[in-house]
Chains A and B, each alone.
Chain A
Amino acid sequence: MKINAIHIEGFGIFHDYKYDNFSPNLNLIIGDNEAGKTTFLTFIRYILFGFPTGRESLNPYPPLKGGKHGGRIRISDRDNLNYVIERFADYRKNVTITFPDGSKGDESDLARLLGHASRDLFFTLFAFSLNDLEQFETLNKSEIQSRIYSMGTGVSSLLELQKKLKKKAEDIFKKSGKKPYINRYFDELGEIQQKIQEIKQRAESYDQLKKEKEDLFDKIKRLKEEKQEKESALFNINNLLRAWEDWTELINAEKELSNLAEIPEFPPDGIHRLNRVVDKENDIISQIEELETSIKEKKKEIDSIAIDIKLINHEIMINELVRGRDKFISAFDDIFVIKEKLEDAKKELKSDIKELGVEWDENKIKTLDTSISRRDEVQKFNDGFQDINQLLTDVENRLSEKNSQLTLLKEEEAKARVNLDAFADIKEIKREDFVKKKKAIKILRVTLPDYQRLRSEFSHIEERIKDLESQLSAKQREPLSFYKLPFWPIFVFVIFMGISGYLFFRGEKFTGSLIFLFFLFLNFGYLFFRNKIVAKINITRNRLIQEIKEIKNLLKDEKEKREKVKSQIERYEALTNQHANILGIENPILAVVEEEADTLEKTAEMLSKKERFLEEYKRIIEKRRLLEKEYEKTKEFKEDIEKKKKSIEEDWKNWLNKHQFPSTITPITVLDIFSRVAAIREKMEKISDLGLRVNQMERTIKEFKEKLNKLLFSLGRDIPLDREISITVDLLSKELAEAKSALQKKNDIESQVKREEIKLKQLNLNLEKIRSEKKVLLDEGNAIDVDEFYLKARIFEKRKNFIEDIKLHKKQIQKIAGIGEAYDNFISQLEKSDPQKLNNEKEKIENRIKEIDLSLEELMKTDGEYKAKIDDLEKREEISKMRLEENRLIEKIKEEAKKWAVYTIALRILEKAKQRYEKERQPAVIKQSQLFFKEITLGNYKQIFSPLEGNYIEVIGKNDERKMITQLSRGTAEQLYLALRFGLIREFSEHSGVNLPIIMDDIFVNFDNHRLKAAISTIKELSDTHQILFFTCHPEISNLIRSSIKETEVISLS
C-alpha cells in the first residue's frame, strides 16, 4: 500500500493542505521545529486508524486555522488501484472509502487494505518517532510479542508448565519429606513390615507352646489321680463319722432291753382301753344322781302353785270391760269441757249478729243470697269503677304533656326563621348554566396548554425553514461548472498538422514529419489532460447536486409540517374562544379560567347551604301542625270517658235497691257484708255439732257402769266409786292374767318330770353294761385290779420301744455302709475307731485336697492360656491380611513412582527442548532483525538473542560477548530497536501480504555518521518494498539521505 495524495482539510496547523506527489519509495519530509512534522505523521495515523476516542485523551489536533477537522488520503494498493480514505473527527468517526469505481466502503474494507494490522501494531511498528523508538516497552505489546515467537508457544505458559511439572513430581516424591505420597506410603509400608515381622516371630513360638502344654497335661493328670484317691478315703471317714451316733445308740438300746422283765403278751392299747371304760362308768353314775335330785325338786314346785278359777271362767266379760274402759274414761273426763265450749259459742254468735246491724237476725242471715254469681255482680261493678277512673287519669296526663311539647316547637320555629333570614339576599343561579360553565372550564384546561405548545412548535418550524433556505441558497451559489479546458486548441493543432503536411509534401520531409509528430503528440496530450479534468469536475458536481437535493427534501418536509401545525392551531383557537364566551372571559388565559372556576364553586356551595336551612324550617312547621291536631283529639276522648262513668253509677244504685241494701254503700262494702255473713253461718253450725256430742257421752258412761256392776256382783266383789272404776277394771284384768300363767306353769313342770323319769331308767341299764366290759379287760391283762393292769402295761411298752430303736439305728448304719459283708466290715471298723481320731484324719485329708485343687486350678488356667495361644496362632489370618496390605502398598508405590517418573521425564524433556530451541531456532523475526542490526552496526553485533521465557533481549557482539539492552549505548539501543522493528515489518508483510508505508519521525538523531549511513542504506533497501515517509529537521540527515538515495521525493513543510 502506498500513499499517493493527502488532503488535510483541517488538522492542527494545517488547513486545506494538499500534496499528491508522494513517491512510492522514499519520501523525505523536511521541516523545522513546529513546521508540523509530528502533526503530519499523526494525521496519517488518524486517517488510517481513526481519531482517538475520548478515553484515550490524546492530542486530537483541532483545526487551528479552520476547516473541517480531518481530511483524506488517497492510496494505491498492490495492483495500483486507487482508494480514497476520508475521515473527520466530528463525523461520528466513521471512515469513508471510495473505491476506484466510485463505490463506497467501510471500516472492514479499510482493514483489508491495511492487512488487518491493528492500531497498536501500526503505531508501534510502522509510524514511530524517536520517542517511540526509545521506549522498548512499545515493542512488548502482546501482539508483537506473539509475532516474535510465532512458533506458537506462549513463553510464560512454558514457565508455568515447568513449575507445574516440578510441583506434581514433588507432590509425589521428595527425598526428604513426610507429605509426598510415596514418602507416606513408605512410612506405612515400614509399619506393616514391622508388624509382619512380629507375627512371624510369634509363630515361631508355636512348637514350644505345644510341648509346654503337653507337660502341663501330665502334671494335671497326676494331680487328678491323687485327688480321687484322697476323696475316696475322705468318703470312708465321713461315713464312719456319720454312722457313729447311730452306732452308740444301738449299743445302748441293746443293753437296756436285756435289763427288762419279759412280758410275752398284753392286750394291745391296754391302758388306754381301761381308762376309757373306767371314765365311762364314773360318768354314768354321776348322771343318775343328778336326775334323781331334779325330779324331787320339780314335784315340790308343782305342789306350791295356787290358781283362781272363777276369774278364768269370766275371762270374756273382763276382756270386754277392759276394751270399753278407754272410751268410758275419755267421755267421763271430756264431758264438762265440751259443755263449757257450747255456752261460749252461743255468746259469740249473738255479739257477731249485733255488729251487722239491728235489722239483722239469725233468720235473715240464713236467707241472705251470697252465691258466687251475686258476688260476681258486685265485683264487676267494683272493677268498672276502677277502670274508668284509671282511664280518666291517663287522658289528663297526656293532655298536659302535649301542651308542653307545643311550647318547645314554637321556640324551635322562631330559631329556624332567624337562620333562614340570614340567607335572604343570596342570588339564585340556574342549574343548566352551572353545568355549561363547568364543562367549558374542563375543556379549556385541556386545550389551552396544547394550543400554547403548538404555537411554540410553529415558531420553531419557521426558524428551521429559514435556516434550510439560507443553506440552500449558499449551496446553489457554489459554481456548478468548473473551468473546462477549451476544445479549440485541437483545431489549432490540426491546422498545424495540416501545415506540417504541406511542408512534408513540399519536400521538407524531416521538418514536416517532425512538426507533424510534434503536433500529433500535443494534440493527444491535450485531449488526455482535458478528459481527466472533466472527470474530476463531474465527481464534485455530482456531490453538490446530491447535497442540494437533500436540503430541498428536508425543506419540503418542514413546510408540510408547518401547514399541519398551522391548521391545528386554528382549530384550537376556535374551540378556546367558544368556551371562553360561555364563561364570559375575553382573554382566554389558564389563570383567568381557574379564577372563574373558583367563583363558580363558591356560589354553588352557599346555595346548597341555604337550601338545607329552608328544609329545616319547613320540617318544624309541619311537626307543629300535627301536634295540635293530636291535642284536640285527646280532649274529645276525655269527655267520652266521663259520660261512661255516670251511666255505671246509675246501674249500681238500681242493683242496691233490688237487693235491699242502703243506696249509699259502695260495692266494696257489699262484698265485706257478704264475707261477715259467711263467718256467722259457720259459727252457727259449730254450736249445733257441740250439742250432739254432749248427748253421746252421757249415754256411753251409763252403759259401762251397768256392765261392771253386773260382773262384780257375780264375782262377789264390792261396787267401787265412780273415780275408782278405772283402777278396778285394771286390777281385774291383771288378776286374770296371773291366774292364767300359773295354770300354764304347772302343766309344763308336770310334763318335764315325766321325761326325766324315762331317762333315769335308761341310765341304769348302761351302767350294768360298762361294768361287765371292765371285767373282761382286766382278765385279758392277767391283772387282778386296775393298778396291776397299769404296771404290766408300762413294762410291755418300754420293751417294744427298745426293739424299734435297735432296728432303726441298724438301718441307718446300713444306709451308709451297705448290707451283708460290707456292713459287717463297717461295724468292725466302727468297733476299732473313735471320733477324735477320725476327725483328725479327716482334717488332714481335706487340707490335702484343697492343696490339690489350688494347684489344679492354677495349672488349668495355664493350660487354658496355652490353648488360647495355640488356637490363636492356628487361626491367625493376620499374616495373609498383612501381606495383602503390604502388596497393596507396594503396588501404590509403584504406581506413584511411575507417575513421578513421567513428570520428571517430561520436565527434563521440556527443559532440553527449550534450550535447544533457544540455541538453534530463534524465531524468524529475530533472524530478520539480526540482519538489519548487523548491517546498521556495521558488523559490531552479530546476533540478537531472545530467551523463550524472558521478556528481554540480549545481543551478541562480534567477539561473542553477550549484552543486555541496558548495557548498550543509547544509539546502539535505538539501532537495535530499529532493527527489531524492521524485522517485524518484514515478518508482517510476509504473513499479511500487505506492505504498509513506514513513517519515521527523525529517528537518526543519536546515530553516528557511520551508522547513519548504514541505517540509510537499510532504509533504501526497505524502500524497495515499502513506501517510506521520513521526517527530519536536520539538514545534514536530509542531505545525507538525498545524496545516498537519488530518487528521493523531497517535501518541504516550511
Chain B
Amino acid sequence: MLKFIHTADLHLGSPFSGIKEFNERLASALFEATFLAFNKIIDLCIFHHVDFLLIAGDIYDSEDRNIRAQLKFRDALSRLSEKGIYTYIVHGNHDPLNGWSATLKWPKHVYIFSDPNLNVEKIPYIKNGQKLAHIHGISFPQKNITENLAKRFKREKGAPFSIGLLHCNIGTNTGHEPYAQSSIEDLIKSGMDYWALGHIHKPQILKENPTIIYPGNPQGRDLGESGERGCYLIEVDNSLRIKPQFIPVDRIRWIHRDIDITKIDEEDELINLIRNESNLPYLDDELSYIIRIKLLGRSPLYKQFLNYPDMFDAIQEEINQEFQGLPFIWIERIENEVKPPIDISSRIKAQDFIGDLLRLIEEYKKNPSNLEELRSLLAPLFSNYSKARSILEDEVEDKEILAMLDKAEAYLIDALIEEV
C-alpha cells in the first residue's frame, strides 16, 4: 500500500575524522563519499518506486556553511521530484532552522517542516485521490532543543497510517548529545504507527509495533562508525503491517582488524600478515574500505618498532600503494599495541629493581585514585594547554591512562632488560 525510504544524519560534505595520512585521491573519495551515499539512496527511491523519502534531520552541518553540500542536496531532491516522489524533511541539531543555509529554491515535491514555534505540522500523503498517510514533523528551530518534542506528537482520530518524523535522542549513553531527549514510552504514547527518527548514527530498530527506527548515517565517517551503513526501506501493507528492510548504501566502510603478532619476529612476515589481513573481498564495484589495524601480542619486533617509529608509516604506505583506483582498500592506521617479549608475571616477583618497578606500575593499575596523579602529570598538555584543551580533554579518561601506562611499562621493561 505504502512504500518509503527512511534516512537521517546525512551530514553531507562533513569531513572524515581520525585519518592521519591520506593522499589526494583518497581525500577526494572521502569528501565525495557522503554525497555518493545519499545519491544511492535517491537511486533506491527511484528503483523501488517509493511513495516518498523521509529525512530525519542533520542533512548537513550548518556550522560548515557548505554551499556545495546544500546545492548537491537540492539537485538530488530534484531527481526525485521529477519522478513525482515526495521528500519530507525535518531539521536537526546540526542544521536547525535558524542555522545558516543558502537561499535555495526547493523542487516541487519537497516539503520541509519549518514551524519555528515547535508546533507539530501534519501533512497528508494522497495518492490517486486516496489519503494514505499522515506525516507529522518538527524541525529544530535552533540547535539547543532540550525539550522532549515527542510529547507534542498526537495521532488524530481516524487518521490513516501515521508517521512521526523527528530528530531526537532516545535512551541514555547513546554517545550522542541529549537533544530532544525522549523515551520509547513517550514515542509509543503518541500513537504513531511509524517513528522515523534521526540523531543516533548507529542503525537500529528500537521497537516494532509501533515501529521505531534509527536508520543511522548512510556513510560512516570515522572508526566509531564502522560496519555497514545505509537506510531503511519500509513497506506497509494494506493491513498496516510494517516490513522494514535495511539497505547498505555506504561507499567507504570502516573496518577494524586486530592482529596478534606474538609469533612474528620478522618485518617481512609482518608486512605479509598485514597484507593478508587487509585484503578484504570487494563486495561490489562501489564499496571501498578503510581499515584500522591494531597489532597486539608480545613480539621481538617491539624493539624494532621502538627504534624505527616510522616503520608503520612505511608499511602502511607500501601496502596502500598497491591499491589504486576505485574501489580501494586503504589502511588508515596501524596501531602499535605490541609489547616486548618479556614475561612480566615472573619479573614482577623478582626482588630487584625491575620487580620493584613492575610492582609500582601494578599499584597504579589497581588503584584508580593513583591515576589522578598521572592525570595531573599530563595536565600541562592535556588540560592546561589552552590550544589543546578542546582536543585532548577527553583523551585522559581512566581507560586511556591505563593504556598509556601499559605502553610506558612495555617501554621501560624493554629498555631496562636490555641493559642486563
Contacts and interface: CB of A to CB of B under 8 A. Distances in A.
Interface string B87-106: 00000000000001011000
B81 to A, nearest CB: 19
A173 interface: yes
A890 to B, nearest CB: 5
A897 B395 contact: yes
A906 B64 contact: no
Interface in A929-955: 948
Contacts of B19: 884, 887-888, 891
Contact of A879 (B65, B401, B407, B412): B65
A151 B357 CA distance: 12
B405 A905 contact: yes
A61 to B, nearest CB: 41
A970 interface: no
Interface stretch (A201-209, A292-300, A599-607, A740-748): A201-209
Contacts of A157: 419
A709 B332 CA distance: 150
A152 interface: yes
Interface stretch (A427-435, A532-540, A829-837, A909-917): A909-917
A913 B353 contact: yes
Contact of B65 (A164, A199, A877): A199
A206 B388 contact: no
Contact of B15 (A153, A206, A886): A886
Nearest to A898: B404
Interface in A73-97: none
A893 B353 contact: no
Interface stretch (B115-123, B206-214, B372-380): B372-380
Which of B19, B102, B405 has its CB near the most chain A CB atoms (within 10 A)?
Answer: B102
Interface in A342-357: none
A489 interface: no
Given A891-B19, A902-B404, A917 B71 contact: no
A391 interface: no
B7 interface: no
B18 interface: yes
Contacts of A873: 67
Interface in B374-415: 374, 377-378, 380-382, 385, 387-388, 391-392, 395-396, 400-401, 404-405, 407-409, 411-412, 415
B374 A905 contact: yes
B286 interface: no
A883 interface: yes
Contacts of B374: 905, 908
B66 A203 contact: yes
A745 B395 CA distance: 147
Contacts of A876: 67-68
B13 A905 contact: no
A881 B360 contact: no
Given A186-B388, A897-B381, A206 B102 contact: yes
Given A161-B415, A190-B387, A874 B71 contact: yes
B64 A207 contact: no
B382 A901 contact: yes
Among B67, B364, B411, residue most surrounded by chain A Cβ atoms (within 10 Å): B67
Contact of B356 (A175, A894, A921): A921
B412 A906 contact: yes
Interface in A206-222: 206-207, 210
A900 interface: yes
B391 A890 contact: yes
B388 A910 contact: no
A154, A190, A880, A912: which has the most chain B beta carbons within 10 Å?
A: A880
A916 B356 contact: yes
Contact of B352 (A153, A903, A909, A910): A153
B342 interface: no
Contacts of B388: 182, 186, 893, 897
A658 interface: no
A513 interface: no
A895 B63 CA distance: 26
Contacts of A227: none
B30 interface: yes
B283 interface: no
A875 B68 contact: yes
A905 B65 CA distance: 42
Interface stretch (B20-28, B45-53, B175-183, B257-265): B20-28
B392 A893 contact: yes
A1038 interface: no
A912 B356 CA distance: 10
Contact of B64 (A200, A901, A910): A200
A879 B391 contact: no
B354 interface: yes
B1 interface: no
Given A873-B67, A874-B68, A875-B68, A891 B20 contact: yes
Nearest to A906: B408
A602 B345 CA distance: 103
B411 A906 contact: yes
B354 A152 contact: yes
Given A157-B419, A904-B377, A909-B357, A883 B64 contact: yes
Contact of A887 (B17, B71, B356): B17
Given A186-B387, A186-B388, A916-B360, A883 B352 contact: no
B266 to A, nearest CB: 25
Nearest to B12: A880
Interface string A244-284: 00000000000000000000000000000000000000000
Contacts of A875: 68
A989 B364 CA distance: 39
Q: Which of A887, A892, A893, A901 has the most CB of B within 10 A?
A: A901
Interface in A846-878: 873-877
Nearest to B400: A898
Contacts of A206: 67, 102-103
Interface in B51-99: 63-68, 71
B273 interface: no
A200 B71 CA distance: 16
Contacts of B381: 173, 182, 897, 900-901
Given A207-B102, A873-B67, A888 B377 contact: no
B387 A152 contact: no
B18 A887 contact: yes
A158 B354 CA distance: 11
Interface in A108-155: 151-154
Contact of A909 (B13, B351, B387, B408): B408
Contacts of B71: 874
A990 to B, nearest CB: 15
B228 to A, nearest CB: 23
A204 B65 contact: yes
B395 A890 contact: no
Contacts of B21: 888
Contacts of B64: 200, 879, 883
A884 B30 contact: yes
B65 A153 contact: no
B346 to A, nearest CB: 14
A200 B401 CA distance: 37
A570 to B, nearest CB: 75
B125 interface: no
25 contacts: A153-B354, A173-B381, A190-B387, A200-B63, A203-B102, A206-B102, A206-B103, A874-B67, A874-B68, A876-B68, A877-B31, A888-B20, A890-B391, A893-B388, A900-B381, A901-B396, A904-B378, A905-B374, A905-B404, A905-B408, A906-B408, A908-B377, A913-B356, A921-B353, A921-B356
Top 6 nearest A-B pairs (CB, nearest first) are: A883-B15, A203-B65, A880-B31, A906-B408, A151-B352, A913-B357
Given A904-B378, A913-B356, A916-B356, 15 more contacts: A875-B68, A880-B15, A884-B15, A884-B16, A884-B30, A890-B17, A891-B17, A897-B382, A898-B400, A900-B381, A902-B404, A902-B408, A906-B408, A909-B408, A912-B360
